[in-house]
Amino acid sequence: MDKLSAQDAGFLKIETPRCPFHVAALVVLSPPDKAPANYLRQLARKCGRLNEILPAFNKRLQDPEDLSAAAWISADNYHPENHVFHYALPTPGRMPDLLQLVTRAHERALDRSRPLWELHLIEGLPGGRFALYCKTHHALVDGIGAMRMIQSLFSTDPTQKIDLRRVRRQPTRQHSHHSVFEQLGGVAKSVAKQYQALPQLSRLLLHMGADILKGNTEAMRLPFTAPRTIFNTELESRRSLSICDLPLKTVKRIAHQHGGTVNDVLLAICGGALRRYLLAHTALPRDSLIVGMPMSLKASGDREGNRLSYILSPFFTEEKDDLRRLRRVIRTTRSAKAEMTAMSVTAAEDFYALLMVPAVLLTLSGNAERVRPAINAIFSNVPGARTALYLDGARMEALYPLSIITHGMGLNITVVSQADRLCFGIAACPTRQADIEQLPKFIRESYRALSTASRKGS
């Protein structure tokens, strides 16, 4: 038995039929040269046994109805047909058809009586290409963990096959009976960590409050000070999933030229895209939209699950000049990272709780629209592989991350770098955000404008 952390259990508690809480990836692949006629059928069969090599895929909830002491146990009811689905797009297979199919799958919550994952193998794309759509509950894995799992299946060697003989079982945990004194010692250490974290969290909140009083617009923002937008409403169950790509090399060049990071450039591009989208719908607020950027607190040896905090930064959607927006983003994120990295992990987790606990309570009580939003949108940039990857000889062409939206936070933009490209996955609610599937067009426009301004400014 493996007890869930408070964060992981919280992801299960907040889930509703209108707001499922799984993360996903859409991977587009080209089959190997001279692949046999039954190549995809054999690949689907291998994927049905992923629970044998990925420990997270062989766990289920001990009691799906009682989350007061939620715990994972080994699945004793695993059936591959409940987790792996194989079908084809209608001819001719187009990307819009693929996205429509994947969107319908993304709208459905996972069955809590089973291991919380699904994989859809979809053939029929032009040139013999096919796609894998894999979704996993957020309580089971975070974005970084999901990337690690994907990379563990893929290889830089096009001749390497999925080897189901290499069983990767999770190390057996030792459940010794600790004495009362040992248990009290553990509680004391936990209390001490919280006691030490309080001054750090207090200083952070004081700095953020002081920045508001001083009118400093280039600083981390307090939760629940974001403007109201069309992204911050009660959601319906329908989803809109859209994708786009940008060249990694050019984005790196812009970042280097202005002393920022790839993440800074992407944040500025998204701010420009949201400004363009909201202006087109006469819905741009006077104050800048606020972005929540998940920050992993996991150490290299941490297992599955989540240890998260958030950086809250302006998107600078009120800024007309694309290059000036980037420079403001760089100054703000540099300061925010310095604040967050100076804090202990416990204090950073407490800041996350300060953001999420009220948001969860407002959502569960149906009051998400009665106060100012905690944030306007979620943006995440997950580093991927730097070289070409292969799955059973099939070359990965692109990997699009598809994440979660909730009541009051109805837009999620996640980016993964894959070889020479940046792959955007955008999740939204089309019944609340008109023409949101046009956002990739505005992302490309914002990128071109920033690239042009950067060249002229050099």
State the average pLDDT over residues 336-360. Answer: 65
**333, 337, 339, 343: CA torsion to nearest 10:** 160
Average pLDDT, rounded, for the chain:
84
State the average pLDDT over residues 420-434. Answer: 95
pLDDT of residue 208: 55
| Spatial distance between the Cα atoms of 240 and 233, rounded to a whole number of angstroms | 15
Specify the long-range contacts of residues 11-14, CB closer than 8 Å, at least 24 apart.
11/137, 11/138, 11/139, 11/306, 12/61, 12/67, 12/70, 12/112, 12/137, 12/139, 13/67, 13/360, 14/360, 14/363, 14/364, 14/406
Residue 186 pLDDT more than 50? no
pLDDT of residue 358: 61
Task: Please report which confidence band the pLDDT of residue 50 belongs to, taking 50, 70 and 90 as the band edges.
Answer: very high
pLDDT of residue 85: 98
pLDDT of residue 196: 47
If residue 13 lies in a helix (H) or strand (E), which one and from where to where? helix 6-14
- 313 in any annotated domain: yes
Task: Write out pLDDT tens, residues 90-145.
Answer: 999 999 999 999 999 999 999 999 999 999 999 999 999 999 999 999 999 876 77
In a shared domain, residues 147 and 199: no
If residue 395 lies in a helix (H) or strand (E), which one and from where to where? strand 394-402
In a shared domain, residues 54 and 119: yes
State the average pLDDT over residues 178-201. Answer: 40
In a shared domain, residues 130 and 258: no
pLDDT of residue 288: 95
In a shared domain, residues 351 and 425: yes
State the average pLDDT over residues 75-99. Answer: 94
Which residue, 92, 120, 153, sits at the end of a domain? 153
Which residue, 97, 127, 153, sits at the end of a domain? 153
User: Hey, what are 89's tokens?
Assistant: 């797009």
Nearest to 276 by CA among 129, 143, 136, 443: 443
- 183 in any annotated domain: no
- 263 in any annotated domain: yes
- 159 in any annotated domain: no
Contact 377, 291 (CB under 8 A): yes
User: Hey, what are 300's tokens?
Assistant: 């290299």
Sequence-ordered strand ranges (E) for 209-264: 240-247
In a shared domain, residues 148 and 198: no
State the average pLDDT over residues 275-296. Answer: 92
Task: Write out pLDDT tens, residues 132-170.
Answer: 999 999 999 876 777 778 778 999 999 998 877 654 444
Q: Give the residue carrying structure tokens 């927006």.
A: 325
Is the CA virtual torsion 264, 341, 138, 49 positive or negative?
A: positive
Domain that holds residue 10: 2-153
Q: Which residues partner with 314 through β-bridges?
A: 290
Q: Which residues contact 276 (CB under 8 A, 6 or more apart)?
A: 442, 445, 446
Least confident of 141-150, 264-273, 288-297, 342-351: 342-351
Contact 328, 218 (CB under 8 A): yes
Task: Please report which confidence band the pLDDT of residue 224 belongs to, taking 50, 70 and 90 as the band edges.
Answer: confident
Q: Which residues contact 358 (CB under 8 A, 6 or more apart)?
A: 223, 224, 374
Task: Please report which confidence band the pLDDT of residue 179 belongs to, taking 50, 70 and 90 as the band edges.
Answer: very low
Gyration radius (Cα) of the chain, Å? 22
| Spatial distance between the Cα atoms of 158 and 236, rounded to a whole number of angstroms | 43
Sequence-ordered strand ranges (E) for 31-165: 59-61, 71-74, 84-88, 117-123, 130-137
Q: Which residues contact 48 (CB under 8 A, 6 or more apart)?
A: 80, 81, 83, 84
Which strands sit side by side in the sheet containing 421-428, from one edge to the other?
A: 240-247, 421-428, 411-418, 377-382, 290-296, 308-314
Spot the catalytic one: 138, 175, 178, 258: 138
Least confident of 242-251, 257-266, 295-304: 295-304
Proportion of the chain above pLDDT 70, given as a percent: 78
Amino acid (one-letter) located at 393: G
- 200 in any annotated domain: yes
- 117 in any annotated domain: yes
In a shared domain, residues 92 and 239: no
pLDDT of residue 193: 43
- Phi, psi values for residue 120, rounded to 5°: -115, 120
pLDDT of residue 96: 94
- 170 in any annotated domain: no
Higher pLDDT, residue 203 or 295: 295
pLDDT of residue 225: 86
Contact 372, 229 (CB under 8 A): no
Task: Write out pLDDT tens, residues 381-410.
Answer: 988 888 999 999 999 999 999 999 988 889
Q: What is the CATH number of the domain that holds 323?
A: 3.30.559.30
Quote the pTM value: 0.85
Task: Return the top range by mean pLDDT from 149-163, 273-287, 344-358.
Answer: 273-287
Higher pLDDT, residue 155 or 340: 155
Which residue, 153, 185, 203, sits at the end of a domain? 153
In a shared domain, residues 76 and 200: no
Could you give the maximum distance between any two Cα atoms of the chain, in Å?
69
In a shared domain, residues 276 and 376: yes
Contact 380, 230 (CB under 8 A): no
- 390 in any annotated domain: no
Q: What is the CATH number of the domain that holds 24?
A: 3.30.559.10
Task: Please report which confidence band the pLDDT of residue 189 belongs to, taking 50, 70 and 90 as the band edges.
Answer: very low
pLDDT of residue 195: 38
State the average pLDDT over residues 24-50. Answer: 95
Residue 334 pLDDT more than 70? yes
Annotated active-site residue 138? The verdict is yes
Least confident of 193-197, 272-276, 362-366, 413-417: 193-197
User: Hey, what are 53's tokens?
Assistant: 């090599």
pLDDT of residue 194: 40
**Residue 168: strand, helix, or coil:** coil
**What is the total count of domains within the chain?**
2
In a shared domain, residues 319 and 201: yes
In a shared domain, residues 25 and 127: yes
In a shared domain, residues 146 and 199: no
**Residue 239: strand, helix, or coil:** coil
pLDDT of residue 421: 96
Higher pLDDT, residue 14 or 167: 14
pLDDT of residue 340: 63
